[in-house]
Amino acid sequence: MSSRILLVEDDKNLGDQIVTHLKNDGFEVTWIQDGHAALDVDPKQHDLVVLDLMLPGAHGLDILKIYRETAETPVLVLSARNETSTKVRALALGADDYVTKPFWPEELLARIQARLRRPLLHAGDVIETGALRIDLGARVVENAGQRVDLTRIEFDLLAALAQRIGAAITRQALVDRVLDPDREGTGRTLDVHFSRVRKKLGTEGARIATVWGVGYRLLPPGA
Amino acid sequence: MSSRILLVEDDKNLGDQIVTHLKNDGFEVTWIQDGHAALDVDPKQHDLVVLDLMLPGAHGLDILKIYRETAETPVLVLSARNETSTKVRALALGADDYVTKPFWPEELLARIQARLRRPLLHAGDVIETGALRIDLGARVVENAGQRVDLTRIEFDLLAALAQRIGAAITRQALVDRVLDPDREGTGRTLDVHFSRVRKKLGTEGARIATVWGVGYRLLPPGA
DNA sequence: AATCTCCTTCAGGGAGACTTAAGGTTGCAA
DNA sequence: TTGCAACCTTAAGTCTCCCTGAAGGAGATT
């Protein structure tokens, strides 16, 4: 039983490449080459959507919004670099992941497989772990019932860790996802944000562990 | 059981160089010096193909296509040309990676190793063997359910062995992959790290066996 | 037995991480 | 538009972690 991928991509070359690679990896692929036609397709019929935001006709973001309202199918977004605002809006609209162009095919594959393998964590889901309660939809964090005020970046960083409790998340991945995708993983900005998150979370903040030379991880409660 | 590389390269000097480097890193190499002969070889018998597109006889792209139709063996393509058209066609035909000449041998090695590593990552992020549970994605190791704290290098070394259980991994390969790629394999640094890994893993640590004069291997459980 | 190769401990140093403070940017309100 | 407040980023100083080379001893190989 292979997974069914819905690809919305207007660029013929790129689309061809992606389809070839996905089929090569055993996926069933439906390729929509036109933004308007995308609205005639039911995302519920697929296991995952790959959506290029740079569409000429209907705006990719509109399609994303409509898909999100009609189905829970995870959406993986493609976007060009230097489009940070678009990326932020896409994630806010409930995109589950994004890949920045240009990318290597295997990178896209890895993201797709990771997404399909993982239990779905949609915007709207709530993560409860230890004394923490993280509402991804409302973007609200509570610590032992007490509301904690986090800024956008602080919240996204915590959420990134909380969505894979115990897993080490690389600095680069965090920078890509939360800060500018076209920025090198160097610099101390991440550290400053995590420093604040830790302080704001008090005891629970100690669960944010540094993984030396790699990134950060959220330790499971009581460990 | 070392990885078997099929090299299709007509340039005698370059081919000689590549073969030397690959063998130095513990790979078994079959070197085909002629495009036509390449069609008589079965890619399924190898773990990875390195294919030079600039062949005099049969066109490299044709070979790529035929290989792709007969096996799932990953193909890494070499080309002197930096033309995107060639690259695009190669990738569309299913090439897994692309290296432009001229390149440093270390670069090719790194790509090969990255490629060989990837299927394992895809097959399942988690390696379970004996009492050990090694989550490559999350960079978490558990021994009989207990979390074990490993540093970056310690984890990478253990992972390198665990990805090919039972196989001897040469010191040079480990140094190349985990420590600095351009460093001589001499020095006792590896020993120190493995010493610590063994200690941290307790009983299971005894499964890390020294292969005298070669490197290390992770013994299968209960052996 | 001689001679490699490997194991382990130890300390030094360097790379990476933490924190504070200040400057810059963004977004909102008047 | 202007001003303000919240927030993000950079810089700098300090600290911590852990990588690495040295050295003596143990084990393997001849």
Distances (CA, A) of A121 to A49, A166, B4, B210: 15, 16, 40, 44
Nucleotides of D under 7 A from a protein CB: 6-13, 17-24, 28-29
Q: For position A82, what pLDDT does the model report?
A: 53
Q: For position B121, what pLDDT does the model report?
A: 45
Distances (CA, A) of B159 to A76, A166, B169, B175, B200: 29, 18, 11, 13, 15
Region B106-110 average pLDDT: 76
Which chain B residues contact residue A213 at CB under 8 A?
151-152
Distance (Å, whole) CA B208 – CA A12: 51
The sheet with strand A168-170 has its strands ordered as: A168-170, A215-218, A208-211
pTM of the model: 0.68
pLDDT tens-place string over residues B37-78: 888 888 878 889 999 887 665 577 778 777 866 666 788 888
Q: For residue B212, with 0-12 CB atoms within 10 Å meaning exposed, 13-18 middle and 19 or more buried, which class applies?
A: exposed
Mention every residue, 6+ apart, whose C-beta is less than 8 A from residue A53: A59, A60, A61, A64, A77, A78, A79, A83, A86, A90
Say yes or no to pLDDT of A7 above 90: yes
Q: How far is A66 from chain B (nearest CA, A)?
A: 31
User: Looking at the complex, does the CB of residue A211 fall below 8 Å from at least one CB of chain B?
Assistant: yes
Which chain A residues contact residue B139 at CB under 8 A?
167-168, 211, 214, 217
pLDDT tens-place string over residues A184-202: 667 899 999 999 999 999 9
Distance (Å, whole) CA A184 – CA A206: 27
Give percent above pLDDT 90 in chain A.
36
Query: b/e string for A151-163 if b means 16 or more Cβ within 10 A?
Result: eebbbbbbbbbbb
Best of B140, B142, B179 to mutate (most A CBs within 10 Å, chain A): B140
Say yes or no to pLDDT of A83 above 70: no
- Show residues, CB within 7 A, near nucleic chain C: A 171, 188, 191-192, 194-195, 198-199, 210, 212-215; B 171, 188, 191-192, 194-195, 198-199, 210, 212-215
Which chain B residues contact residue A211 at CB under 8 A?
139, 152
User: Looking at the complex, does the CB of residue B36 fall below 8 Å from at least one CB of chain A?
Assistant: no
Q: For position A30, what pLDDT does the model report?
A: 93
CA at B210, C1' at C8: how many angstroms apart?
15
Average model confidence (pLDDT) across chain A = 83
User: Looking at the complex, does the CB of residue A13 fall below 8 Å from at least one CB of chain B?
Assistant: yes
User: Looking at the complex, does the CB of residue A105 fall below 8 Å from at least one CB of chain B?
Assistant: yes
Q: How far is B114 from chain A (nearest CA, A)?
A: 11
Which chain B residues contact residue A214 at CB under 8 A?
139, 152
B82 vs B4, residue with greater confidence: B4
